[in-house]
Amino acid sequence: MTASCTSKNQSDNTPASTSVSANTVVASATGQQPEAGIISQDIHINQIGYKIDDKKIAVIKGVYKSFEVFDAETGKAVLVKETGGKVSDESSGDTVCYADFSELKASGSYFISVEGLGKSYDFKIGESTLFSKVNDALVKALYYQRCGIVLDSKYAGEYIHGSCHTGKAILYGNEEVQLDVGGGWHDAGDYGRYVVPAAVTAADLMLAYEFYPQSFTSPLNIPESSNNIPDILDEAKYGLEWLLKMQDEKSGGVYHKVTSRNFPDIAVMPDIDVDDLFIMPVSTTATADFAAVTAMASRIFKDFDPDFSKKCLAAAVKAWNWLEANKSFIAFKNPQDVSSGEYGDSSGDDERAWAAAELLRATGIKKYNEYFKANYQTGGFGLGWQNVSGFAAIAYLFADTETADSGKADEIRKAWLEKADMFVSTAQKNGYLLAMHKMEYNWGSNMNVANHAMHMLIADKLSNSEKYTESAADCAHYLLGRNTLNQSYITGYGSQKVMQPHHRPSAGDSVKDPVPGLLVGGPDSALEDDSARASLSGKAPAQCYIDDITSFSTNEVATYWNSAAIFVFSYMGSN
């Protein structure tokens, strides 16, 4: 397997900028279509396409004077224009220029040609349904991650397997106790189920529905598709029902995870994985995240499933009572004989604040507001599993004005917008127009991309500014191929697809293509597995990715990476 890192000699031509009237068909500078099949890996576009009225920019590695856009169906040039910009990009080490074809508004299939370089992959210009299909696939991928049920061909197509992990799990340290904790999602490329990331996954799904409900009107062909509940909420409920099983009935505390002691081999299908399952002890972070997401669920499901809503709220209050009775931080560390994912943390302050904010929003009870005001530290605004302060902020910012403190909300709003402005500023300096600093290409960097976009989309809800939505869209363009590697990072989508994700069902089944709709982790400059170290040493941060099944640090998948991308593509498909 080879690393997805490319290098070519570049022209030293100096770019200039010019304009062409919208929808004007112009003669080709070369007079003919580029030779078919000569694809340049240095012309970077969103390989799915662009919406009609959006900015449409291709990033060209090197410096060239002009570019042409061809109709892929007719082979005729429809636009010729000079490039703009000459930007040195620190994250990739590339010098780039830009092909801005925003004035092209006719629906169709196109490619870009640069004389002396070649042509881009084909892409489309069209309605938001271009991205609705991607979003649907991202959501449907969570169905493929479901644990405890048969995936049959009626819903899963080729990607079938028998029921898995249906036996009772052993309470670690007390092997006489066995509990039914079936269900939930396989967290990532392995078969572990973890409360902390599952809570973040479910929260992202419910927020995506709350902010962009118009993106979830089409059924996804899952078992619940005919129940008059949007399928994205059905998927969230599947995860939430498992979370409810992870709460200790007596204390209200929540067990941290259920896994086998070790990861199974890479090609083991879930229904063949029969190692003993162990429930790990209660932790502060699991309990607080659980309280937050079940409180959120009580609000979101109130009109769709009142009984489930009440059940979630009761569970959230019970978990909060545990937090009040256990004020000291109870961390989780893997026992010596367990090597599955740890999802450990050094503090539960952000998780507790999230729980308080969600319980305030769900109930309006004053004590939650008092706790939040006294304990929430404005800033940071994490939207990943290790820092959930951003979820806490969102809950508080969008709570009823009668329950939240206006002064605290204004403080958070101001800081949120300041961070959004920082992301926009970072994107303006980035060669690929991406709101990412070169130090952020770590394990799961594509989650960083999606979470930055999510932050800016929330900022747009707070201030209605086009600069935020445009920069968020640029993050989506990056994930679908407008990056230094010309790599689409979502399985099944784009011209240069991920084919070897670190994902056991994709490795173990007999299907050529991997399960579609999975967002892989992306470049990791720390080179944290043998394949990455062997192939990517010396590469710039944004180039440290390899489409290799053994590269768990760059090519694994995770439900909470998918869910962050779902929020972004919910926006992309909403207008």
For the record, the structure tokens of 22 come out as 């919208």
CB 537 within 8 A of CB 506: no
The 3-state DSSP class for residue 493 equals coil
- CA distances, 150 to each of 162, 240, 329, 425, 485 (Å): 5, 19, 39, 47, 37
Q: Which amino acid is at 428?
A: Q
The 3-state DSSP class for residue 495 equals coil
The Cα 533–Cα 525 span in angstroms is 10
Q: Which amino acid is at 46?
A: N
Residue in 524, 516, 452, 454 with CA at minimum distance from that of residue 490: 516
Query: How many residues would you count in the chain?
Result: 575
Query: Is the torsion defined by CA of 469, 467, 126, 500 positive or negative?
Result: negative
The Cα 203–Cα 215 span in angstroms is 17
For the record, the structure tokens of 222 come out as 């899952």
Q: Which residues 6+ apart lie within 8 Å of 348 measured at CB?
A: 284, 285, 288, 329, 330
- Which residue is catalytic, options 231, 234, 351, 556? 556
Q: Which residues 6+ apart lie within 8 Å of 59 measured at CB?
A: 44, 45, 96, 97, 98, 99, 431, 432, 433, 482
Other C-beta atoms closer than 10 Å to the C-beta of 207 total 25
- Which residue is catalytic, options 204, 345, 547, 548? 547
Other C-beta atoms closer than 10 Å to the C-beta of 53 total 10
Q: On the CB side of 265, how many CA atoms lie within 13 Å of its CA?
A: 4
Residue in 318, 319, 391 with CA at minimum distance from that of residue 354: 391
Q: On the CB side of 97, how many CA atoms lie within 13 Å of its CA?
A: 22
With residue 134 as reference, give the H or E element that holds it.
helix 129-144
547 catalytically annotated: yes
What is the gyration radius of the CA atoms in the chain, in angstroms? 24
What are the catalytic residues?
547, 556
